[in-house]
A = this chain, B = another copy of it.
Amino acid sequence: AETGVTVSGYGRFGLEYLEGRAEETQIASRLRFNIDGKTETDSGVTFGGRLRLQSTDGGAASTNAALFYASYEGFRVEVGNVNTAFDSAGLIYNSEMGFQDSSYGDPQGAFFAYNSTGAVAPGAGIFASYSMGDFTGRISYVNPDQMTGASTDAEVGVSFDYASGPFAVSLAAYQDGAGVAGNDGFFLGAAYTINDAATVGLNYMDEDAAGGRVVTLYGNYTMGATTLRAYVADLDVAGADTAYGLGADYDLGGARLSGSVQQGYAGQTYADVGVRFDF
């Protein structure tokens, strides 16, 4: 029976450029500590809880609401400030790059996720996942108004990941995303690992709050300590530019130096370069 508290997290800092804002080039930073307490019972079930302390861009560190979980072998249930099925889908954020791990090819809709800062609706969320071999399935339910009995709708989400040799697929959906009635979303992603060095993938997202479906094609290529990253993303909205990004990571052996240049759907240029280290 393993019992105790562990603290882990990451730090990142560097320069961020965003075309058109008052100060286009800024120092950007984040320091995150996850504080985890857990108890493993004699029967092998682990009960745990997590809080996060996080400081972003010079702000005083914030706290967040607790996530609780029970896990047993491949099965895990969460209560409180839960992860959600859609946000946890494999492949869905795989086009991200730069020291801040961002991409215009990410989902553009509105849905609940684990909340890094501040309160959540009290006890609102429940999440369950099950992994067996190369398969993982997830389901989540987040009710934003448990205490009040108000009329907001609960978000329900599901996701499935499967891998077989070089192929990986991920499927996810949510209903009444972010507690808004009729705000549904769907995701289908596939990735193919060409060889030790190269991966390509295609993500398809159809979300009501995004204004149109997004298709993102991405690829990574590793040469020694360097990984090159690229993506092209199309948002099916009149007047939207094609978004794309080019990035590179340099592995420092425990940390990485990462940079990217990206263009968004409004044609704006974003670029970042900095360091990310995990502990």
Interface residues of A in 234-279 (CB under 8 A from B): 252-255, 275, 277-279
Contacts of A22 in B (CB 8 A): 147-149
Chain B residue nearest to A39 (CB atoms) is B277
Q: 1/0 per position for A36-48, CB-CB distance to B under 8 A?
A: 0111111101011
Contacts of A80 in B (CB 8 A): 13, 27, 29, 31, 58
Nearest Cβ in chain B — how far from A99, in angstroms? Answer: 12
Contact assessment for B3 and A279 in the assembled complex, using a CB-CB cutoff below 8 Å = yes
Q: How many monomers of this protein are in the complex?
A: 3
Instruction: Kindly identify which residue among B35, B60, B66, B81 contacts A64, using a CB–CB cutoff of 8 Å.
Output: B60
Contacts of A58 in B (CB 8 A): 65-66, 80-81, 119-124
Q: Tell me the complex Cα distance, A53–B278, Å.
A: 21
Instruction: Kindly identify which residue among B51, B57, B123 contacts A57, using a CB–CB cutoff of 8 Å.
Output: B123
Interface residues of A in 1-52 (CB under 8 A from B): 1, 3-5, 7-11, 13, 22-23, 26-31, 33, 35, 37-43, 45, 47-51
Contacts of A121 in B (CB 8 A): 58
Contact assessment for B123 and A29 in the assembled complex, using a CB-CB cutoff below 8 Å = yes
Contacts of A68 in B (CB 8 A): 11, 13, 29, 31
Nearest Cβ in chain B — how far from A249, in angstroms? Answer: 13
Q: Decide: A33 near B13, CB < 8 A? Known: A61-B65, A64-B60, A80-B58.
A: no
Chain A interface residue count: which class?
Answer: 35 or more
Q: Decide: A277 near B29, CB < 8 A? Known: A58-B80, A146-B23, A254-B40.
A: no
Q: Tell me the complex Cα distance, A58–B125, Å.
A: 10
Contacts of A9 in B (CB 8 A): 5, 37
Interface residues of A in 70-124 (CB under 8 A from B): 70, 79-81, 117-124
Q: Is A59 part of the contact surface with B, judged by Cβ < 8 Å? A: yes
Contacts of A23 in B (CB 8 A): 146-149
Contact assessment for B8 and A7 in the assembled complex, using a CB-CB cutoff below 8 Å = no
A contact residues vs B (CB 8 Å cutoff):
1, 3-5, 7-11, 13, 22-23, 26-31, 33, 35, 37-43, 45, 47-51, 53, 55, 57-66, 68, 70, 79-81, 117-124, 146-149, 252-255, 275, 277-279
> Please, could you name 5 A-B residue pairs with CB atoms under 8 Å apart, sorted by A?
A27-B124, A38-B279, A39-B278, A51-B53, A57-B123
